[in-house]
A and B are shown apart, each in its own frame.
Chain A
Amino acid sequence: MENVWLTSALWLGLALLASIISIRLAVSVALIEIVVGAAAGNLVHLELTEWVNFLAGFGAIMITFLAGAEIDPRALRRQLAPSLGIGAVSFAAPYLGCVGFARFALAWDWPAAQIAGISLSTTSVAVVYAVMIETGFNRTEMGRIILAACFVTDLATVLALGIVFAHFDARLLVFGAATAAALAMLPRFAPWFFAKVGHRVSEPETKFIALILLGLGGLATIAGSEAVLPAYLVGMALAPAFIAEPELPHRMRIIAFTILTPFYFLKAGSLIDLDAVIASAGLITVFLAIKMATKFIGILPLTRAFAFDGREGMYTTLLMSTGLTFGTISALFGLTNRIIDQRQYAVLVSAVIASAVVPTLIAQRWFQPLPSGIEGASPGQPAPAEEH
């Protein structure tokens, strides 16, 4: 019989270990959790119980919601056309490249090839944001366009994941109608409700948002869609409210990163079969190369068009080739719904992890632009350090 306390102690012990390693290496805790999960999953038996799956699933929903809530809607509205253009190209080029390779070169079936394309089309907004801060681009209109474009890329990824595999019948209509109603009402209702209940230890605001996310997630699942789709859209709808009240998303992040997302990333790692990774090392490299090459084809000319110098253009393009969270979410969706098998999952998640690490290392080692020394904050974010 399962000993729930020992099982949870093992999972949280791994999460704590990942946190300590991430602090020591100054590397994202999510990436370390995947690696620790992979090591644990292959060395000891990491039990995927119902409650682990629930916490992991809720973690994926929360991290997607919080990613959507980081959008700066003003910047997106102000530069809608270039943001949509760059963002769409940044999604479509690797999507088509990876789908084409998986379908025609590897003879994967169409749904599995779609998962490959969606997993490897993402861009890590947080990595690009960090670069913007370092280079001072976050204060320029160009920087804001690129950051908004990254959100568009992620939105396209989430939309693709939510729509491609959905049942196109009445259930999808019900889900679509409920989501549209929530998106229409939330921007007005949520700030009113937050003001009404105030800041309490019982966190009524967080419970309210969780209620919406889980309710829409349930409808999405019935419609054969994915719960992260409404989560991202609700995050976008609530972004202006969060700009006015930045403490709320911060508290939600603490809850999510303490008790939910570790289960998600550890689970995503634990399902990676290391034997399959070793056996498919060449294939993983090819998928990574296709993702990077197609991002280059799509984005590098645009950086030239927007007057980046050569080094800055390469740096930005490399950083827009990174991805982690949505890539693993897409691959895990494929595995959970039996669209891809364990080996294909290992290949795709490994390529996603490599896409988080390799372009960043290349960018930092060979293409790092000299910093401008300009600093600033993204709208809606706390101001960073001033130059003293």
Chain B
Amino acid sequence: MFRRIVIAHDGSEGAAKALDAALELAQRHKATLQMISVEELPQIPTTIDEVVEEKAAANRHFDPLIARVQSRAKAARVRLEVHVVAGHAVPSIVEFVERQRADLLVVGFMGHSALYNRVIGSTTDRLVALAPCAVLVVK
């Protein structure tokens, strides 16, 4: 049923559970699996250095995560492609899913501040609303 699966991973506990589900689904359906992680830049930065620093911190956060995820995929005998992009989570993930023509997006609860959720909206809610394919939310 699912040929192309995308997992959105932000390094959170929820996303780790979503990865488990995505690996199992990819195995069962012999689907390709792509992972996208989004480096979110600071809101209303004061200096360019603040932006650069945040990106460097994101790199430090994602590099070990990618190594762990690759090793889990290898153990599960699933071929996994990893993509890290800068931007805001929702449009970046939706655009990626469209570009990959994925038929399933797997997400966990994605970490955001309460204020951001209130003002901009919950990331998961917006992904469910905007993704052009089926979405599996793993708790």
**Chain A interfacial positions (CB closer than 8 Å to B):** 24-31, 63, 66-67, 70, 124-127, 129-130, 133-135, 249-250, 253, 322, 324-325, 356-357, 360-361, 364-365, 368-371, 373, 375, 377-378, 381-382, 384-388
Contact = CB atoms under 8 A, between A and B. Distances in A.
Contacts of B115: 25
15 contacts: A25-B43, A25-B113, A25-B115, A26-B43, A26-B113, A63-B46, A66-B47, A126-B47, A126-B51, A129-B48, A133-B86, A250-B49, A361-B120, A373-B83, A385-B39
Interface in B90-134: 91-92, 94-96, 99, 113, 115-116, 119-120
A247 to B, nearest CB: 12
Interface string B51-64: 11001101100100
Contact of B82 (A66, A67, A381, A388): A388
B48 A126 contact: yes
B44 A324 contact: yes
A26 B40 contact: yes
A386 to B, nearest CB: 8
Contacts of B49: 66, 70, 249-250, 253
The listed residue with most A CB atoms (<10 A of its CB), out of B59, B85, B87, is B87
B45 A384 contact: no
Contacts of A130: 41-42, 45, 51
Interface residues of B, number: 38
B43 A28 contact: yes
B46 A29 contact: yes
B120 to A, nearest CB: 6
Nearest to A66: B47
A375 B42 contact: no
Closest CB pairs A-B (n = 9):
A126-B45, A30-B46, A134-B87, A371-B87, A384-B55, A370-B95, A130-B41, A385-B59, A28-B44
The listed residue with most A CB atoms (<10 A of its CB), out of B47, B49, B115, is B47
Given A25-B113, A385-B58, A127 B44 contact: yes
Given A385-B58, A387-B84, A388-B83, A26 B116 contact: yes
B99 to A, nearest CB: 8
